[in-house]
Amino acid sequence: MRAAMSGSESKTTARPSCCIKAGEAAAGHALQAKLAYAQAETAAMRQRHGERSKQAQEAAAHEIQIEREIAAQKRAIEDELTNRRRIAAQMDIEAAAQDAKFQEQMGLMTKAELLAQERKFAAQKYEIERQALEEKLALLKSDPTTDPVAREKMETQLQEIKRRYALQDRQLEQQAALEKMQNWRNVFQGMESGFASVFASIGTKI
């Protein structure tokens, strides 16, 4: 049943991605045609008025502006696709986390096992978020027109999620250690109680 649902969810996620790709192709063709026209205009202005003429420089500036629009469009499309992949993966992890909590509540999983699962889920979430940001950062770095401040901001975000995950992982590790210690205490207390009952029974018989 879960496999069937996962397949259905994957298909549902794939359709919008296809629509995005189709929209990208249509808009991309329009911008490429616009760029080709601007390039021809620049060449004509240079031939007619000279390489350093005002007309040639204005045409070249317009050409550069269109190139920037194409780069910005590509980044926007890739960002949207990256976000969709990230959200779908995070939803899968959330579903698995809910299943694990339900199993622990039903007594099918110990608290220690649940904490181990939660630690694994946290690592998976961090990896998804890290990869998504790194893909966006790679796009920014590949575009020479990108504002350096935007790249620096993205790099800062990467460091922030790394620190946040390290803190969360340490907290879960500490919880697991406390749970393990509590389990050992319960075992020893049970043994002490059992010995006390045995000794009490022996004393009564004597």
Report the distance separating Cα 17 and Cα 23, nearest Å: 10
- Please check whether residue 135 is in contact with residue 157, taking contact to mean a CB–CB distance below 8 angstroms: no
pLDDT along the chain (206 residues), means of 10: 41 49 62 78 84 86 83 83 90 95 92 92 94 87 80 92 94 88 64 57 57
Report the distance separating Cα 25 and Cα 70, nearest Å: 11
Query: Phi, psi at residue 138, to the nearest 5°?
Result: -65, -40
- 4-25 burial, b if ≥16 CB within 10 A, otherwise e? eeeeeeeeeeeeeeeebeeebe
Report the distance separating Cα 167 and Cα 160, nearest Å: 11
What would the pLDDT profile of 144-172 be if each residue is shown by its tens digit?
777 788 889 989 999 999 999 999 999 99
Report the distance separating Cα 151 and Cα 136, nearest Å: 9
Give the DSSP letter of residue 53.
S
Three-state SS at 91: helix
Question: Which residues have a Cβ under 8 Å from the Cβ of 24 and sit 6 or more positions away?
Answer: 73, 74, 77
Question: Which residues have a Cβ under 8 Å from the Cβ of 135 and sit 6 or more positions away?
Answer: 78, 82
Q: For residue 79, how far is the Cα from the chain centroid?
A: 11
Tokens of 206: 């004597």
